[in-house]
Amino acid sequence: MYDNIKQTHDKKYYYYVQSDSLSREALFIEDLEDKDSLIDYYNKTEKGINPYINFKCYPVPIDTIVFIMNYETKDSLIAKVLFHYKIEYGDENNKVAYVYTKLLHDKKYKCHQDSIVKKEQ
């Protein structure tokens, strides 16, 4: 299934870019019942509020490619995706999950060398 979807579905990267241009891992959910909580979490984050996580979620590593299977809500804020998920301590598998679509990007996040400040000179 993974190889077929890789060839036939849109490829994206999933990460959150903060206002100071730093990126961090974005969260995914496994249960579609948590979609409103995920949307609310990122709506508050976008407004500068540090929200509580009151739902079951997991981070997607920044450099992970996700494949869009379909959009789950009429407003297209939640997408069902497939990605290769490597879990700590060596376990890995192909994961079907739900993500917040405003955090999907066409390009991999790139850390620019000139944005790194050296403390020792």
- Tens-digit pLDDT profile for residues 48-66: 888 999 999 999 888 889 9
Question: For residue 89, is pLDDT > 70?
Answer: no
In a domain, 72, yes or no: yes
- Tens-digit pLDDT profile for residues 10-49: 899 999 887 666 778 899 999 999 999 999 999 999 898 8
Predicted pLDDT at 111: 57
Predicted pLDDT at 7: 73
Q: Are 97 and 83 in contact (CB under 8 A)?
A: yes
Parent domain of 16:
2-109
- Count: domains in the chain: 1
Average confidence score pLDDT of the chain: 82
In a domain, 119, yes or no: no
Rounded to 5 degrees, what angle do the CA atoms 2, 31, 40 make? 115
Residue 6 CA to residue 115 CA, distance in Å, equals 33
> Who has greater pLDDT, 88 or 45?
45
In a domain, 98, yes or no: yes
Predicted pLDDT at 120: 38
Residue 43 CA to residue 86 CA, distance in Å, equals 28
